[in-house]
Every structure is written in C-alpha cells, then in structure tokens.
Amino acid sequence: MAAERVRIVALQVVSVGVLLVAWEVVARAGWVDALFVPAPSAVAGAFGRIARSALAGLGDTLLKTAVAYVLSVVFGVAFGVAIGSVRALREVLSPFVVAVYGMPKILVLPWIVLILGFGTAPAIVYGTIHGFFPILVLVMGGVRDVDRTLVTVARAFGASTWQLYWKVLLPAIVPTVLAGMRLGVVFCLLGVLIVEMFAGVRGMGHVMGSLANGFQAPELFAATALVSAASIAIVLALDVLNDRLSHWRG
C-alpha cells in the first residue's frame, strides 16, 4: 500500500514536471506564440509584477463571495427546509424551483447589471442567485429523503413539531447541508467572477478581463493560477469541515 502511494505521488510529480518542462521548451523554441502562451518561467516572473493588484482584487472578490455565500446558505437552507417539509408548499412550488434552477442564470445577468449598475451590488446579488438554487434543491431533496422511521419514532416518543424539526429533521440533513455548502461556494465564486468580468470595476474577474484585453498573457496566467489556488483551498477547507461534522455517517 505504501509503495503504491509513493508510486502514485511520484507519477503525479513527474507528470506535472514533464508538462512544465515541455511547455517551457515549446515556448522558448518559439513553436507557439509567446504572446498567447507564455513560458512557465515567464508566468512565474509575472507573479511578482501582479502581486499587489491581484491580491487586492482577490481580496475584493472573496469578500463579495463571502457575503453572497452567507446569504445563499441562510436562504437556501431556510427555504429548502420550509418547502421540503411542508407538503402543500412542496407540491405547489417544486416545478417553479426546478424550472428556475435549471435556467442558465447568465441570461438575466445583463438585466441585473442594468438595474443594479456596475460594482459590488450586482456581484453579490448574482453570486447569491448562483449559490442559492443548488443549495435549495439539495436541501429540499435532503428533507424529502429523511428516513420516515425516524420521524415516526420521534412522534411515538411524543415529540412536538418544534422538536421534530430541531431534534430530527435538522440533524438528519446536516450532511446534505454540508454537501450544499461545498457545492454552493464554487457557484457563488463563479457568479461573482462572471459579474466582475462582465461589468466589474474591481475584483479578480475585472483584473483578469483587463489582462486579457491588454494581451498580458504571463500576468493573466499568473492571476488565473492564483484564483484557482484560492478556490481549491476553500473547497479543501470545506471538505475538512465536512469530515469533522459528520463523523457519525457510515
């Protein structure tokens, strides 16, 4: 087992290394236009140059994402539990939820920008819309799939409606909520970045859009790597949280 693990890590390291070296060689040899595909060494050098503006932009983007994320989780879980657990609401509203969930949000982006203007507000609203629906749909499903026996047990032991929610339904959907939170954060970040690219005045999306328009490929690649790393770090952190909080799961 340990030997296999070493082999796999070695394979990962070697492949990434080979890829970078090959890329460097191809770029240096001039087989691709360095204007579009800069060598890894050039990208590494660009980190230093963009560090200040990119870090500020990343901070701005993550702040907006955080606000959108909190709103998505709070509203997604609240509406998900309400719609999922009240039968009349579920029957009447689910087709609407499914329809809006399935609709590409990009189509309403111009409209949101038209109404809210450029800047922070449309980014937060659009990021919230992006995060809200997947969480809502997941939580609704989670509530529907709660083991009916557990509800019957609680009723048999005299649980009040409040206790049914608090001691059965909510603990039972914790894994679903965590899964939704993991999914939702990527969607929120996606929404915020799209607005910043489309109509941003600040933030990482705006920075990357400007770099692309200015044909600053090394800087753009560096910025892309930075956002990707931040996003991966956030998701990994949520995974750790997920493992901690649902230790009772099989």
Partner 1 sequence: MSDLIVVESVSKRYVTSSGPIEALHDVSLSVGAGEFCTLIGPSGCGKSTLLGMLGGLVTADTGRLLVDGRPVNGPDPGRVATVFQDAGLFPWRTALENVEFGLELQGVPRERRRAVATELLGPLGLRDFAEKYPRELSGGLRQRVAIGRALAIDTQIILMDEPFGALDEQTRLLMGEWLLDIWRRTRKTVVFVTHSLHEALALSTRVMVMTARPGRIKRVLELPMPYPRAMESAEMVALRATLWSGIRDESLRAMGER
Partner 2 sequence: MRVPALRAAILVLFLLAWEGVARTANPLLYVPPSAVLPAFGRLLALESYPDLVPSLLLTLREILVAYALAIAAGLGCGFALGLNRTIGRAYGPILAALYAVPAVVWYPSLMLFFGLDAASKIAFGFLLGFFPITLAVLAGIRQVSPHMLVVARAFGARPLVIFVKVMVPAMLFTLVGGLRTGLALSVIGVIVGEILGSRSGMGALINHAYGLFRTSDYVALVLVTLVLIVGSDALASLVERRAQRWTD
For binding to partner 1 (CB under 8 A), which residues are involved? 147, 149-150, 152-160, 163, 167-168, 171-172, 174, 246-250
Q: Which of 30, 48, 95, 250 binds partner 2 (CB under 8 A)?
A: 95
Which does residue 171 bind out of partner 1, partner 2, none, counting CB within 5 to 8 angstroms by kind?
partner 1
Q: How far is the CB of 39 from partner 2 (least distance, A)?
A: 15
By residue count, the chain amounts to 250
Nearer to partner 2, 2 or 107 (CB): 107
Could you tell me if 122 and 140 are in contact, meaning their C-beta atoms sit under 8 angstroms apart? no
Region from 50-58, 70-78, 158-166, 217-225 binding partner 2, contact rule CB under 8 A:
217-225
Task: Render the burial of 177-194: b for 16+ CB within 10 Å, e for the rest.
Answer: bbbbbbbbbbbbbbbbbb
Q: Which of 74, 228, 241, 249 binds partner 2 (CB under 8 A)?
A: 228
Q: How far apart are the first and last CA of the chain?
A: 23
Q: Is 79 in the site for partner 2 (CB under 8 A)?
A: no
Q: Is 136 in the site for partner 2 (CB under 8 A)?
A: no
Q: How far is the CB of 1 from partner 1 (least distance, A)?
A: 24
Nearer to partner 1, 2 or 156 (CB): 156
* Count of residues near partner 2 by CB under 8 A: 49
Task: Please count the helices (runs of H) and the strands (runs of E) in the chain.
Answer: 11, 0
Q: Which of 30, 102, 158, 250 binds partner 2 (CB under 8 A)?
A: 102
Q: Compute how many other C-beta atoms are within 10 angstroms of the C-beta atom of residue 141.
A: 14
Which does residue 55 bind out of partner 1, partner 2, none, counting CB within 5 to 8 angstroms by kind?
none
Q: How far is the CB of 158 from partner 2 (least distance, A)?
A: 32
Give every CB contact of residue 16 below 8 A, 6+ residues apart in sequence: none
Q: Is 158 in the site for partner 2 (CB under 8 A)?
A: no
What CA–CA distance (Å, rounded) separates 125 from 195? Answer: 10
Q: Tokens 């990707």 map to which residue?
A: 228
Q: Is 159 in the site for partner 2 (CB under 8 A)?
A: no
Could you tell me if 24 and 39 are in contact, meaning their C-beta atoms sit under 8 angstroms apart? yes
3-state SS track over 103-116? CCHHHHHHHHHHHH
Strands (E), the chain: none
DSSP 3-state assignment of 64?
helix
56 membership: H or E segment, kind and range: helix 40-85
Residue ranges in contact with partner 2 by CB under 8 A: 4, 7-8, 11-12, 15, 36-37, 91-93, 95-96, 102-104, 106-111, 113-115, 186-187, 189-190, 193-194, 197-198, 205, 208-209, 211-212, 215, 217, 220-221, 224, 227-228, 231-232, 235-236
